[in-house]
Amino acid sequence: MSRYHSCFITSITLLTIFLTGCSSSQPQPTKGSAYPQMYQEKPRSILILPPINESTDTEAKDYYMTTTEVPFALMGYYVFPTEMVADILNQEGIYDASILQNMPATKFYEYFGADAVLFTTIHKWDVSYTVVASTLHVAISAKLVSTKTNKVLWEHSKSVTVDLGSANTNSLEGLLISVVLTAINTASADYVEYAKVVNDKLIYTLPAGPYSPMYLKDEDMPLRQY
């Protein structure tokens, strides 16, 4: 064997060992490794609380609440009807979401019998303007907490940016049209649809619930995010 051939094989061997070491030292996280409590406690029902709204849009809370129930139900969980929950809380004189966020999660098992409670925060729901365009920025975080142990079972955050449209500005007439169209596009934007997009991205990492065919089968699935 030539000296060159021997050095080449040695180099390949060292490279293989190095790459193997890198891959083993940084294994790709799975749903099971990221959220082990979900598989230990196996919650079946979720109570979704009204979100804390930190955005500049006072209606963001209402937009978002209309989109939370279905995605979690599709993931295989029984979800308490959000309108019913809101009505009960209002009857108890609880209107401020921050009060709910500060309550021990175990209280919601006493009141509703839910296995887990979902706390959400709207960090951004803001429209930014230029003369001829507008953009919607939405950022939301969610945390699922056990009502039995008060432990965090799952948490994630996501944001999206949506171009609400712009138009031709090659002339003064075009500029005026662009301003009008921007205002129209912003006013007519379907914010509920954008909230659905955020939710779909948000719960992508959530382990499947007991009413899903993937229940307890996705523990070793890579924790892919998009």
Range of the domain at 176: 30-205
Task: Using alpha carbons, select from 144, 143, 141, 145 the residue that is nearest to residue 157.
Answer: 141
* Domain-embedded: residue 22: no
Highest-confidence segment of 4-8, 109-113, 124-128:
109-113
Q: Residue 79 pLDDT more than 50? A: yes
Q: Judge residue 163's burial from the number of C-beta atoms within 10 Å of its C-beta, 0-12 exposed, 13-18 middle, 19 or more buried.
A: exposed
Tell me which of 98 and 208 has the higher pLDDT: 208
pLDDT for 7-26, tens place per residue? 434 444 444 444 455 444 56
* Domain-embedded: residue 190: yes
Q: In 3-state terms, what secondary structure has residue 37?
A: helix
Lowest mean pLDDT among 29-38, 70-79, 102-111, 175-184: 175-184
CATH number of the domain encompassing residue 118: 3.40.50.10610
Neighbours of 83 (CB within 10 A): 11
Question: What pLDDT is attached to residue 99?
Answer: 79
For the chain, the domain total comes to 1
Write the CB contacts of 105 (distance below 8 Å, at least 6 apart in sequence).
116, 117, 145, 146, 147, 150
210 touches 76 (CB < 8 A): yes
Question: What pLDDT is attached to residue 176?
Answer: 37
Task: Using alpha carbons, select from 69, 55, 99, 77 the residue that is nearest to residue 214.
Answer: 77
CA–CA separation, 54 and 57 (whole Å)? 9
Tell me which of 223 and 218 has the higher pLDDT: 218
CA–CA separation, 22 and 171 (whole Å)? 57
Positive or negative: CA dihedral 80, 82, 83, 89 = positive
131 touches 175 (CB < 8 A): yes
Taking all residues of the chain, what is their mean pLDDT, rounded to a whole number? 75
How far CA 194 is from CA of 64, 98, 184, 199, in Å, comes to: 9, 24, 17, 9
Q: Residue 27 pLDDT more than 60? A: yes
State the average pLDDT over residues 26-48. Answer: 92
Question: What pLDDT is attached to residue 204?
Answer: 84
Neighbours of 55 (CB within 10 A): 21
Lowest mean pLDDT among 35-39, 85-89, 125-129, 145-149: 125-129
* Domain-embedded: residue 5: no
Lowest mean pLDDT among 22-31, 133-142, 180-189: 180-189
* Domain-embedded: residue 210: no
